[in-house]
């Protein structure tokens, strides 16, 4: 009987070892791939942490420059608006006491810049001080207007100055090539 017990024990141990090896080896071979996956995940976590830090830095920079960005957005509109420019010009002309005989607009396309231009041609009559007041208003106007050239001629009969002003206004270029009027 003692031999039988030893034989059964030996068979159970041999069977256990025989079954233990494939089951254990399968799990053991997964350890290498799990280590690689853990390293990959750690890399991803580190990259995402770095990206989050960059985003926080950019947000801090944006918050610091928010007032400058708002001022820039107020000075240079995001879309073309001849009507807004015309109403602003009309108010400036009325305040300066000049008479305008003609206003024309033309849009300049610029592929290499982030903004586009509107060229403004303004013709009229007025006094020296009225024209000076108009130029001061244009200089301080929002949206931004740059006076490119001024032509003055004295009209002998009325003793007034005929003026022709060429100016440029800016707007931020959009994906829409035509912009909005």
Per-residue confidence in pLDDT tens, the chain, 181 aa: 678 888 888 888 888 777 777 777 777 778 888 888 999 999 999 999 999 999 999 998 888 877 776 766 666 666 666 777 777 888 888 888 888 888 888 877 655 566 778 888 889 888 889 888 888 888 877 667 788 889 988 888 888 888 898 988 877 765 544 444 4
The predicted pLDDT at position 138 comes to: 82
Which of 66, 162, 76 lies closest to 118, judged by CA? 76
Q: What are phi and psi of 64, to 5 degrees?
A: -65, -35
Confidence at residue 178, expressed as pLDDT on a 0 to 100 scale: 46
Q: Are 93 and 124 in contact (CB under 8 A)?
A: yes
Q: Say how far apart CA 57 and CA 52 lie, in whole Å.
A: 9
Please give the pLDDT value at position 177: 45
Q: In what order do the strands lie in the sheet with 160-172?
A: 99-108, 115-126, 160-172, 145-155
Closest CA to 139 of 75, 72, 67: 75
Q: Which two tokens stand for residue 32?
A: 């290498």
- Return all residues near 34 (Cβ < 8 A) that are at least 6 apart: none
Check residue 174 and give its pLDDT.
56
CA dist., res. 34 & res. 176, Å (int): 51
Please name the residues in contact with 6: beta carbons below 8 A apart, sequence gap of 6 or more. Answer: none
Which residues in the chain belong to E strands, given as ranges?
A: 99-108, 115-126, 145-155, 160-172
pLDDT at 179: 44
Structure tokens at 152: 């003055």
Residues 6+ apart with CB under 8 A from 160: 125, 126, 127, 154
């Amino acid at each position: 009987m003692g031999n039988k017990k030893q034989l059964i024990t030996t068979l159970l141990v041999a069977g256990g070892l025989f079954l233990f090896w494939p089951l254990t080896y399968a799990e053991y071979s997964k350890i290498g791939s799990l280590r690689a996956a853990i390293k990959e995940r750690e890399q991803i976590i580190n990259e995402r942490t770095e990206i989050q830090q960059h985003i926080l830095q950019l947000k801090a920079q944006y918050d610091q420059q928010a007032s400058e960005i708002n001022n820039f957005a107020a000075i240079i509109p995001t879309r073309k608006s001849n009507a807004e420019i015309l109403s602003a010009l009309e108010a400036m002309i009325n305040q300066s006491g000049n008479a305008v005989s003609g206003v024309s607009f033309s849009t300049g396309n610029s592929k290499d810049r982030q903004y586009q231009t509107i060229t403004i041609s303004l013709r009229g009559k007025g006094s020296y001080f009225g024209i000076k007041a108009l130029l001061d208003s244009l200089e301080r106007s929002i949206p931004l207007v740059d006076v490119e050239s001024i032509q003055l001629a004295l009209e002998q009969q009325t003793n007034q100055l005929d003026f022709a002003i060429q100016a440029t206004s800016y707007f931020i270029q959009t994906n829409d090539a035509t912009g909005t009027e």
